[in-house]
Amino acid sequence: MLDYQPPQFKLDPRLARLLGIHTQTRSAIIQALWQYIKTNKLQDSHDKEYINCDKYFQQIFDCPRLKFSEIPQRLTNLLLPPDPIVINHIISVDPNDQKKTACYDIDVEVEDPLKGQMSSFLLSTANQQEITALDNKIHETIESINQLKIQRDFMLSFSKDPKGYIQDWLKSQSRDLKVMTDVVGNPEEERRAEFYHEPWSQEAVSRYFYCKLTGCKQNEEENLCLTQT
């Protein structure tokens, strides 16, 4: 019998058929059980600690409901020692037979030699710092790509239909402004020309042109000062 490290166990025939596993480590068996529970939605929806057994679980564990923490203990009676390796070999006692050499292949599981190197690599502080820096760079690159995509979509939409895009953009800005200022307008009134013949409209136009003229005057004065200097 092979000395498995970590130890392996042969499953009870009923459990082996259910999980599709013949011989495996205890942790792998528990993981397979948890996968079966999730796939078949056996975890109680109100109390996640409990598992509602289906007909197969009831046959194996002999109960309608159990805690997931009880499974390792209940597995003890369902795990058997692995099958021994059997080699069928005929020993000839006839002195006239020539001596023959027989070779047999035996599958054994060994620990991955790279596992230790991977663990030391992941635990290395320097490597962790480098990984963190690379992760930050990846996030920054993704953010930059997203910003460039937004700009591209803007330019592409504008190039296809400049007039329609500006109208849609103004409508969007108008909606955002109303939300920010808590001002609720009347769309039916705003779409009619009479709405813009009110006194407030004339005042708004006058203020707009006044601001524009003031800005132009300031620009001219700044240019004049630069010319004189």
**Where do the structural domains in the chain lie, given as residue ranges?**
1-110, 114-184, 194-229
Convert 29-56 to b/e letters by CB count within 10 Å (16 or more is b).
beebbeebbeeeebeeeeeeebbbbeee
Cβ-contact 75, 26 below 8 angstroms: yes
Residue whose pair of structure tokens reads 């992760």 in the numeric block: 135
Cα separations in angstroms, 39 against 42, 74, 122, 148, 162 = 8, 21, 32, 41, 52
Q: How far apart are CA 135 and CA 174, in angstroms?
A: 39
161 phi-psi bin (left φ>0, alpha ψ -120 to 50, beta other): beta
Residue 229 pLDDT more than 60? no
pTM (predicted TM-score)? 0.43
pLDDT at 108: 72
Q: How far apart are CA 212 and CA 3, in angstroms?
A: 90
Q: What percent of the chain has pLDDT over 70?
A: 83
Residue 183 pLDDT more than 60? no
Return mean pLDDT, the chain: 81
Report domain 1-110's class: mainly alpha
Residue with more model confidence, 65 or 188: 65
Residue 130 pLDDT more than 60? yes
Cα separations in angstroms, 66 against 131, 148, 216 = 43, 54, 82
Selection from 27-31, 178-182, 191-195 with the highest mean pLDDT = 27-31
